[in-house]
Amino acid sequence: MTTTKGAFYTGEYRNVFKELGYSDSEINAKVIETWNDLFGDNEETKIYYEVGDDLGYLLDTGNLDVRTEGMSYGMMMAVQFDRKDVFDRIWNWTMKYMYMTEGENAGYFAWSCSPDGKKNAYGPAPDGEEYFALALLFASHRWGDGDEPFDYSKQAKDLLHTVIHKGENGDGYPMWNPDNKLIKFIPNCEYSDPSYHLPHFYELFSLWSYPEDQQFWKEATAASREYLKIACHPKTGLAPEYAHYDGTPNDDRGFGHFFSDSYRVAANIGLDYEWFRGDKWEVENANRIQAFFAEKDPEDYRRYTIAGEPFEEKSLHPVGLIATNAMASLAADGPYAKSTVEQFWNTPIRTGVRRYYDNCLYLFAMLALSGKFKIWMPTREE
């Protein structure tokens, strides 16, 4: 079932669906169908839209805007599916409309734009930048570099340099705290979002960023793994959306509970364990999360305190929560690892106005649980 080393070292990726008895043909068909649902022509499920000859964007269908979260997710999806055409359209749109060249956020990407490209905000969201960087590195390794802006490796390394060094000349704020090496919710604040923590990405950044930045990313990898241990509740495994650097929930703006952002923590620890066997704690916490939801009906998923106390407010993205809990089975070895994946397999992709976030998480889980969310290594020494 599992090995003592992660896929980075072995080159072998678990196909959890196959372990549970699904056939290769069933699995491959479902993976392709999910891609087509998001990137095809079905208006009830699609979130990707092409513009002209060389542009494309992913639409947050609930808020009718284009977000760096979705654009960077779309690029990661495209490189995993070997769709350079889609990748380049998304990256071209991102650079044309989202990249900022002036002000304290120059070098970052505006987190929200309207579909016509107008910026809705001039601030960035670091979860977009970290996904952009790794998607670009994978693109460089899988397809090779081209002319600007498709010189993927340079774009990625420049971005990884900017996010940790910006502000050293009084020109803004870095996205990672330089002292504790933790990612911030936004650059000009001093707290975090546990779901932004991607130690499995930082492991790769420590290999492929500029040499002067590699030590920072090594330290950020260790810092994030330790941070998740203190941000997740010791009994439920749940994390808040926002948390202070000491791991305690930050509810100053009403985001100190387990809600939409928090769902991604389960997926992230699952993938970190699959790629790197990041920490034995990840197995334990994945088991805790799955146990917490084991007896709950998805139609009654809610906002919860991290201790597990429910609010009246229902979950906005129950399909996404099913998907991320299933992705935790890459680490989980408890009694609910199998049933959580089977629940996901039997859950259809979401339709309607709220589908964007759920279905992004759905596609990532589909890739990861079929052994197709891969690390694309350099074909030669860079």
Which position has the token pair 């380049």? 88
With beta carbons less than 8 A apart as the criterion, state whether 174 and 104 touch: no
With beta carbons less than 8 A apart as the criterion, state whether 277 and 271 touch: no
Q: Is 69 a catalytic residue?
A: yes
- Active-site annotation holder among 65, 261, 272, 279: 261
- Distance linking the first and last C-alpha atoms of the chain: 33
With beta carbons less than 8 A apart as the criterion, state whether 327 and 266 touch: yes
With beta carbons less than 8 A apart as the criterion, state whether 349 and 45 touch: yes
Q: Is 261 a catalytic residue?
A: yes
Q: Give which of 288, 135, 134 is closest to 202, Cα–Cα.
A: 134
Convert 34-84 into a string of H (helix), E (strand) and C (coil): HHHHHHCCCCCCCCEEEECCCEEEECECCCCEEEHHHHHHHHHHHHHCCCH
- Active-site annotation holder among 37, 69, 127, 241: 69
**What DSSP letter does each residue of 158-199 carry, written as one string?**
HHHHHHHHTTTTSSS--SB-TTT-PBPSSTTSS-B-GGG--H
* Cα–Cα distance measured from residue 237 to residue 222, given in angstroms and rounded to the nearest whole number: 19
* Cα–Cα distance measured from residue 130 to residue 137, given in angstroms and rounded to the nearest whole number: 11
With beta carbons less than 8 A apart as the criterion, state whether 167 and 189 touch: no
With beta carbons less than 8 A apart as the criterion, state whether 71 and 360 touch: no
* Cα–Cα distance measured from residue 208 to residue 312, given in angstroms and rounded to the nearest whole number: 46
* Cα–Cα distance measured from residue 90 to residue 45, given in angstroms and rounded to the nearest whole number: 18
Q: Which amino acid type is present at position 102?
A: E
- The count of other CB atoms within 10 Å of the CB of residue 94 is 25
Active-site annotation, residues: 69, 261
